[in-house]
Chains A and B, each alone.
Chain A
């Protein structure tokens, strides 16, 4: 008997003690709402419902994102992990990740999360400069972030650090120094994200009011190139546009599941999933408001609203736009529905944006820097 297909599980915990001005995720202020316990229970029930849709699968990952899942009761996290393992059993390894903010309070609970089964911490350090942290509206200092990284390093086998760059007036020199300081914190994985001004955020309004301006495309390109060279030199291979790992084992199994087009369940308010069901590959998204989500799960045993079956072309579009982000690219067999133009691809190979041959479509580092345009051009 062959192994069942893999599945990753995403858990969305929407509460934050403070809403960051750049964030456009589905978040709510954490006021220790009594509904939080009901939400944890609803997430478990929703997972059960989704497991009934998928049939047998082998669990490869559970990822707690948010929001700030490190504010969650570690006990609830433990129960959710347990439920996922029971629903999609496996003998193989399961990566269990948790996003956390580097405050002293949260660092104090790392051990409890490790005990609940979390092995990989994704720490939202963002910057090691207090002025930049203030600009980003973060509720921790650089010193606090360093302490949290130290604790995390001792408690969890695997540590990843998130950073934000391309801040107003950021220089290549300053960014290089910041990267080197972060490398010294000893994480196995670093995710530097270019600051993106998302519609409807506080930063969006500030930019419209001309309170500040993010760097232009040339400056952003310079900072992106610096990121690649500095991290590469320190042994952090760029395996995705904004993700760098020290060796293959340090890569995020969970995120690779998205980029490789594997199935993933999504539970919690506003979570997304892709489930292969008897009716075909299906995009699911859950109710966004906590109360609506909890009551929908109560009524139907599922938090999903209006699942959408993806046709061959839509699946191929997703494979292309996610798969080209990763260093390994996408097998051409998964892109057949797009009827790509071979001559156009040859042109992009000649321009050094795609790698030639091999039965896969693979973007070069140069191609990944302009990937949005590249995918836009490839899809006709």
Chain B
């Protein structure tokens, strides 16, 4: 039996990283009896190691809470835990589309952050009712009145009824639950209509196969039903239907307004596209849900095994990851410098870092990742256009009419004292200022920035110039033509294709010098002098030198030393595998990424 609509509430929690979203979620689960104290691991919902370590949510998840409200009725509250990072904006938007309301959690001492803004606007776009919650009110630095005012000033939400709580100390949790029941709307839907459900997320479970998270809008989803993914036309027989409480619990069916999961012999996550409409094969809905789009990667980099012999292992690993992450793409790539590897596409920088980390951690691979790149749109003289994913594939400049690059709109909130440094950073990265205003003590700056200036180390630099206080969010804007050139790095007079990149002509020299300096630091002295050069076409624009090694020899080597020295050489040989040889120069693996991080800008 499905639950009456009036006793269902579907809600998301919108918050900035560290403002206590996960703690509040856990506290809600605990209070409603989903888990005993003993079963509570810290932050149940972020179940991947990386999620827990970084304190971020990567995959959307859901928990069904049974809450007996003050009116005496028991409500089903479906909490959608949304990814908290801009890289996963589309997943966030689908999670929000599955709910009628949101709780906006704001740290009562920190106040509104750039990310809070982005997410709350998305919730508003999805017509959500929003309940502001001020968290951490028991901290000495808490200023609920100031933050309440800020929510009204900056976001324009009425915060007079904001709920005060401390998820950590368990203060005000009942008030949050009551507000969900009384202030958020119940879902609407027609149980008699043809099935219409939203595919919110999907992941691969080693025991169950692909698990699909759904929100039913109309009709009833039952085990044994043949369902159709409307966007792909694929059909599946539903094996199992259940809800997370937070443990997976089988239910016979899911009616309108309900949230749960299904399994249906789906092989890959890629077959369960987020945002798709699921309907019955026999009785299809005439009105699929709107808002579906195929997620397109925006940042690319090459990933190569340090030891060429590990290529097949890498192939298996990227295949396995793709099973579970349809937004990650890969295709084979060959580099003159690095051999066989893959050109991989990511939703953003965090996504890139996460995938790299999972490849090396979960599959135990030593990897070389090349410079992240964006997609350039190149118009050739003959009028044709190319999407360039890899600077190594850049056509001969003589044939190129123009190059366009993606720009983003960056929203940055920073304490006033770092504003100068933040503006300088944005200007240095070719930013165009669009807005500068004040939010209490803090400045809100909006800049248009070329994505290729952001992909390397913009976020790191922003954190460092603002001592960690600035927050940052972005959205992709458009493509703009720019004076872009391909810069090549030559090590010992040989170009290393994996280090070549497209840069703005005006930034080429700074970039080139930074990269040469970094490479010169990272390449240890060889027995000959190694020039490291940055070049545009045939023109050298920067140069550094790694001086030759003068002395490296064991002073004493007699009969007793032969064994030890021989074994030492064998050990060094193993270490050699972590290096790549380019011509006669050994370049350590970390050089490929480190060379791009510029300390001083």
Contact = CB atoms under 8 A, between A and B. Distances in A.
Nearest to B575: A376
B572 interface: yes
Given A258-B558, A272-B560, A274-B562, A217 B527 contact: no
Given A344-B584, A347-B584, A373 B549 contact: yes
Contacts of B528: 351
A34 to B, nearest CB: 27
A377 interface: yes
Contacts of B527: 348, 351, 353, 367, 370, 373-374, 377
B600 interface: no
A228 to B, nearest CB: 12
A376 B569 contact: yes
Contact of A375 (B562, B569, B584): B569
Contacts of B54: none
Contact of B559 (A241, A272, A317, A321): A272
B41 interface: no
A379 B575 CA distance: 13
Contacts of B467: none
B551 A369 contact: yes
A163 B92 CA distance: 73
Nearest to A223: B551
Interface in A62-92: none
Interface residues of A, number: 47
B562 A217 contact: no
A377 B552 CA distance: 12
Nearest to A10: B559
Interface residues of B, number: 24
A78 to B, nearest CB: 23
B556 interface: yes
B71 to A, nearest CB: 71
B539 interface: no
Contacts of B559: 10, 258, 264, 266, 272-274
Nearest to A325: B557
Nearest to B556: A193
A283 interface: yes
B553 interface: yes
Interface string A88-131: 00000000000000000000000000000000000000000000
A253 B4 CA distance: 100
A314 B527 CA distance: 25
A379 B555 contact: no
Interface in B415-431: none
Contacts of A54: none
B441 interface: no
Interface in A203-235: 217-218, 220-221, 224
Most chain A CB within 10 A, of B551, B554, B558, B565, is at B551
Contacts of A10: 559
Nearest to B560: A272
Interface in A173-217: 193-196, 217
B573 interface: yes
A350 to B, nearest CB: 9
Contact of B557 (A241, A344, A379): A241
21 contacts: A193-B555, A193-B556, A241-B553, A242-B555, A266-B560, A272-B563, A274-B562, A317-B569, A321-B562, A322-B557, A347-B584, A351-B527, A367-B527, A369-B550, A369-B551, A369-B552, A371-B553, A372-B553, A376-B569, A377-B527, A379-B573
Interface of B: 526-528, 549-560, 562-563, 565-566, 569, 572-573, 576, 584
Closest A-B pairs by Cβ, 9 of them: A221-B550, A221-B551, A371-B553, A272-B560, A193-B555, A194-B555, A373-B552, A258-B559, A370-B552
